[in-house]
Amino acid sequence: MVVVMKTSATQAEVDEVVERVREAGGEAFVSPGRSRTIIGLVGDTLQFLEMPLASLPGVEQVIRVGRPYKLVARELHPEPSTVMVGNHPIDRKTVTIIAGPCAVESLEQTMEAARMAKRAGAHLLRGGAYKPRSSPYSFQGLAKEGLEILAACREETGLPVVTEVLEPRDVELVASLADALQIGARNMQNFSLLKEVGKSSTPVILKRGLSATVEEWLMAAEYVAREGNMDIVLCERGIRTFETATRNTLDLAGMAVARDATHLPVIADPSHATGVRELVAPMAKAAVAAGADGIMIEIHPHPSEALSDGPQALTGMDLDRLVEELSALGVALKKPVPGQAKDGKKSGVGWASSR
């Protein structure tokens, strides 16, 4: 960090900055200039961030040079992390497929979607039991009953379950029935919720906020990590821009920036990013080509009857085709979709017959 002093700063004011930095265990290097003095700080940046340096007399500006996060930064943890969700590893060597309905509407609908996901070769089942809806009059989810339905689907298909938790008080219950806790875009900066899932030993899938910068997204992950839970997967799900042709704008460059900055796996959700069924597969492929470590896709047995996000839901056949294409892409990129044949084609008993 660099502290820039005002042109009017006195020697006593410079000395005070130096003293405060030394008291905090850091080193301060003073460079007197022709018109102003700058002070270079060496030591624990995070510690300096907690100091009120900008408000000391004579200080004009404090410029941060390093990153404001530590635990999730790749700099201090060069090895890529693997996050186990149930028995499935999400890592940087493979492409994980997460599929399922937007919302758990009934046992029948979720079970059918879970079978579709399983048949297509997905590794994890998604589905919201607690739904963050823009309107309080829209379907809000089945809550605990929804979690039990997801657990029943896991029981039958063997697919570990990813589901959203909206409130700190629900974390324990959701974690007792699910294999990963999703933090939705609208809650990315709900710091009490982040701290609560940070205390859990269940993995967290952290969606990027609607208007969050990559740095804010990583800082949200740092909140979780600081409480002790390092099993975090970041999910790019589109950000708000001026464009209205799509629901959001899938920020693949931002995803790549995040992937470079952290050791955590980073996945993409082209369903919420586009909101348009026809755009989901192209954007899923683009995300994998850009390095995504996984894809989260919404599917529905009857999209036109879905209680939420029907227009972006894929059918079972759409998902079959997409997984096949992602497998071929994975082979070309040497980043396979686990469970798929090495040549990218489907194989094995059951696949042909169930298709």
Q: Under DSSP, is residue 346 helix (H, G, I), strand (E, B) or coil?
A: coil
Phi, psi of 178 (to 5 degrees): -110, 165
Identify which range of 19-27, 49-57, 183-191, 255-263 contacts ligand PEP by CB under 6 A: 183-191
| 146 binding ligand PEP? (CB under 6 A) | no
Check the CA dihedral 145-151-157-161 and report its sign: positive
Q: How far is the C-alpha of 226 from the C-alpha of 198, rounded, in Å? A: 7
| 184 binding ligand PEP? (CB under 6 A) | yes
Q: Is 233 left (phi over 0), alpha (psi -120 to 50) or beta?
A: beta
Q: Rounded to an integer, what is the distance from CA 231 to the centroid of its chain? A: 11
| 247 binding ligand PEP? (CB under 6 A) | no
- Which of ligand PEP, Mn ion, none does residue 237 bind to, with CB < 5 to 8 Å depending on kind? ligand PEP
Identify which range of 38-46, 82-90, 165-173, 302-310 contacts Mn ion by CB under 5 A: 302-310
Using CB under 6 A as the binding criterion, the count of chain residues that bind ligand PEP stands at 11
* CB of 103 vs ligand PEP, minimal distance in Å: 7
Q: How far is residue 237 from each of residues 87, 116, 261, 292, 296, measured CA to CA in Å?
A: 25, 22, 18, 12, 9
If we measure between CA atoms, which residue out of 35, 33, 30 comes closest to residue 16? 30
Check the CA dihedral 46-50-54-56 and report its sign: negative
Nearer to ligand PEP, 202 or 340 (CB): 202
Q: Where are the alpha helices (DSSP H) in 132-185?
A: 144-157, 171-177
Which one of residues 92, 237, 247, 285 is an interface residue with ligand PEP (CB under 6 A)?
237
- Which of ligand PEP, Mn ion, none does residue 185 bind to, with CB < 5 to 8 Å depending on kind? ligand PEP
Identify which range of 57-65, 179-187, 217-225, 345-353 contacts ligand PEP by CB under 6 A: 179-187
| 102 binding Mn ion? (CB under 5 A) | yes
Q: Which of residues 296-355 bind ligand PEP (CB under 6 A)?
A: none
Nearer to ligand PEP, 48 or 223 (CB): 223
If we measure between CA atoms, which residue out of 296, 351, 287, 291 comes closest to residue 324? 351
Q: How far is the C-alpha of 16 from the C-alpha of 10, rounded, in Å? A: 10
The pattern of x and - marking residues 156 through 175 that bind ligand PEP according to CB under 6 A reads: --------x-----------
The pattern of x and - marking residues 93 through 112 that bind ligand PEP according to CB under 6 A reads: ---------x----------
Interface with ligand PEP by CB under 6 A: which residues? 102, 128, 132, 164, 184-186, 207, 237, 269, 272
